[in-house]
Amino acid sequence: MTIDCDGLDPAIMPAVIGPAPGGFSYWQVVTLLQGVAAKARIACFDIVEFMPERDPQGLAALTAARLVCNAIGLIARQR
For each of the chain's 79 residues, which pLDDT tens digit applies? 999 999 999 999 999 998 889 999 999 999 999 999 999 999 999 999 999 999 999 999 999 999 999 999 999 999 7
| Beta carbons of 5 and 15 less than 8 angstroms apart | yes
Within a 10 A sphere around the Cβ of 61, how many other Cβ atoms?
14
Question: Kind and range of the H or E element at 71?
Answer: helix 59-77
